[in-house]
Structure 1
Amino acid sequence: MRKIGCCTWIFNNEPLEVTTQRLHQCGLHGAELHGDINRINPVQAGQLFSDKGLEIFSITPGDADIAHPDRKIRQEGLTYYEKLIEWVLKLDQKLTAPIISCHGLVQRIRPISTQEEENDLLVDSTQKICEMAKSASLNIVFEILNRYESHQIRTVTEGLDFLKRVNAPNLKLLPDAYHMNIEEANPAEALRLGHHHIGLYHAADSNRGAIGEGHTDFAAQFGALNDIQYSGPIILEVAAPGPDPFNTNKGEGFKEVLQKQLVKSVQAIRALGS
């Protein structure tokens, strides 16, 4: 059976003591921890997860514009990742260090200068992040988003071209079933195309709900993950129904809705034999 986790940011920055209890109740094995380096004490966070028998699989970053044409803004993003890497090391997870996720600024859907220049800047910044991570023996995954969230790297094909340009051995791709539902003609074949370059996998149904609440063919995607011998976790990134996709707080009771979605997703994944 695959290990299953979820992104902690979906609970809108509630205390980790509460979140880890939720994860345990939902039958999850761990989480993708929000890299809130100014609010979360990494030593305490690592201990909380360990005490619950949970694993921190990966880190989802705060927003940082690493492809902005303004050098100062770009450097602020790189400085954030430098601090994030130091923060991750303090989590002190003994067996396996968490993977750090990377992407451009979410919600910037068009270039400020030109697409070509900003693609070049994204390559340059990612090379720097990978080099920083390499010095700390950490791995990076680049998350593939959709056109409504980013103007850069929206398909696995684009991701593979990006990997060639960055040329860093500690960099892989993070495809997400929800984003693939928008951008990929055939998500399962996209996963097969990515093959050993897939370093992490996110899952939510076509409506960003629990697995089984939309029309995504997860049997096909899990079959593709088996075919490429993906051995990592399934990270659930579901959202309660409601407007504003960039705000997880959908009103009273939304956390209880999320918890039910996580339980339903775990059951669906197991029913599909994954």
Structure 2
Amino acid sequence: MRRLGIHSFVWTGGQTQDGLEMALEKSAACGYRTIEFAYLRPEKFDLDRLARRARSLDVEIGVTMGLPREADISSQDETLVRRGEELLANAVKAVRDIGGNKLGGILYSAHTKYNSMPTERGWKNSVAAIAKTAEVAKSAGVDLVLEVVNRFETNLLNTTAQGLKFIEETGSDHVLLHLDTFHMNIEEASPAAAIRLAGDKLGYFHIGESNRGYLGDGVIDFDLIFDALLDINYQRDIVFESFSSAVVDEGLSLACAIWRDTWTDNQPLAVHAKQFIELKYVEAQRRRATCARP
């Protein structure tokens, strides 16, 4: 892996400048070298100040988001699609302005539980909009990574295979996949096989437990996950993501169905996650070395 990171929602709901700066400082103090923020609206936050603070701490910034219903680029309504394209272009510029290196998340549809099947026209609208956004992102020096999530948070991309088909249709070499163990555990027959299928199209990776809490306290087999990451020679960032109603803001709690406190003290959670990921990575390397011996 390139850098080990943590989602800012472990530390803060992300509503204030002070909260974001605190998240940067606590992440750095725990040894994380990248942080993931939710979409930072330039009119609400001092992006220059955040960028300077991140540089001083040697912490890189990535940003993820989901589109709202009123800016759904997978809609058949061209007004909503144009609105979504504008929102994505502005998000790319905000990532650039904060000195960030990637924009990820549910960029291809609304972040919501749909009550209808996706349509062919909606798929094509989304593909075309992401292709346009990829050009904006490429010019800005920002990676564009599409998060494949579970059926309750989008109706468009629920599996790695769907994600690969989608990015192929964009015709862009600047669109990659963003996979997440929490979502793969729900949707993939074999998360490890899904990672291998993604191969060099995997551009960003989330580590999260099946219950959104402490790593190792759920049902995900992380040995298989790390073996697969080594098999594809994954060299990009790995970011720990965990949500609890103790911290996450109301909007995300509703979108992700965070109805309870999966934890209440974030400091030990963050320390444990870093140790757990590093241990699993080393164990996978040892297994590989053992298997390679004659």
Q: 1:107 to 1:259 in 2, by over 3 A?
A: farther
Please, which of 96, 100, 104 is the counterpart of residue 103 of structure 2? Answer: 100
| Structure 2 counterparts to residues 138-149 of structure 1, below 5 A | 138-149=142-153
Task: For 2:202, give the aligned amino acid.
Answer: I
Q: In the TM superposition, what whole-angstrom CA distance separates every residue of 1:60-93 from its partner, at most 9, and x where no partner exists?
A: 125342212222222121111111222222223x
Question: Which residue does the alignment assign to 1:176?
Answer: 180
1:78 partnered with 2:90: no
Range with bigger deviation, 238-247 or 262-271? 238-247
Provide the C-alpha distance between the structure 2 equivalents of 1:39 and 1:158, rounded to a whole number of angstroms. Answer: 35
Q: Tell me the residue number matched to 2:287.
A: none
2:219 alignment partner in structure 1: 215
Q: When the two structures are superposed, what TM-score results if normalisation uses the length of structure 1?
A: 0.88
Q: Secondary structure at the match of 1:174?
A: strand
Q: Distance in 1 between matches of 2:145 and 2:48?
A: 23
Q: How does 1:1-274 map to 2 (within 5 A)?
A: 3-10=3-10, 11-13=12-14, 14=16, 15-37=19-41, 38-56=43-61, 58-64=62-68, 65-92=72-99, 98-101=101-104, 102-111=107-116, 115-240=119-244, 244=254, 246=256, 257-274=265-282
In structure 2, what is the Cα distance between the partners aligned to 1:218 and 1:134?
33
CA distances 1:2-44 after superposition (whole Å, capped 9, x unpaired): 5211222452115212111221232211211222224222211
Which moves more between the two structures, 197-206 or 77-86? 77-86
Q: Using a 3 Å threshold, how does the CA distance of structure 1 residues 126 and 148 change in structure 2: closer, same or farther?
A: same
Give the structure 1 partner of residue 250 of structure 2.
none
In 2, distance between residues paired with 1:71 and 1:108? 21
Query: CA 1:78/1:9 → structure 2, altered by over 3 Å: closer, same or farther?
Result: farther
For 2:211, what is the secondary structure of its paired residue? coil
CA distance, structure 2, for counterparts of residue 111 and residue 167 of structure 1: 27
Q: Which amino acid aligns with 1:61?
A: M
- After TM superposition, give the deviation of residue 248 of structure 1 in Å: 6.4
**Percent of matched pairs sharing the same residue:** 26
Gap regions ≥5 residues in structure 1: none
Post-superposition offset of 1:234: 1.0
TM-score (norm 2): 0.83
Distance in 1 (alpha carbons) for counterparts of 2:223 and 2:168: 30
Query: Does the CA-based 8 Å contact 2:181-2:191 persist in structure 1?
Result: yes
State the secondary structure of the residue aligned to 2:109. Answer: coil
| Displacement of 1:149 | 0.6
CA deviation after TM superposition for structure 1 residue 170, in Å: 0.4
**Distance change >3 Å, CA 32–CA 197, structure 1 → 2:** same
Runs (4+) of structure 1 exceeding 4 A deviation are: 241-245, 247-251
Q: How many residues align?
A: 266
Q: For residues 63 and 120 of structure 1, what CA distance do their matches in structure 2 show? A: 17
1:195-239, Cα deviation, whole Å (9 max, x unpaired): 001000011011111211111011111111111011111111111
Q: Which has the higher helix share?
A: 2
- Match of 2:203, SS? coil
Cα RMSD (Å) of the superposition? Answer: 2.3
SS of the residue 1:159 aligns to: helix
SS at match of 1:129: helix
Residue identity matched to 2:95:
V
How far apart, in 2, do the equivalents of 1:174 and 1:264 lie? Answer: 23
Q: Is the 8 A contact 1:111 1:118 kept in 2?
A: no
What is the letter of the counterpart of residue 13 of structure 2? N
Shift in CA distance, 137/39, structure 1 to aligned 2, threshold 3 Å:
same
Task: Say if 1:123 and 1:165, in contact at 8 Å, map to a contact too.
Answer: yes
The answer (yes or no) to whether the contact 1:181–1:216 under 8 Å persists in 2 is yes
Q: 1:201, 1:235 within 8 Å by CA — same for their partners in 2?
A: yes
* Paired letter, 2:103: I
The offset of 1:269, in angstroms, is: 1.1
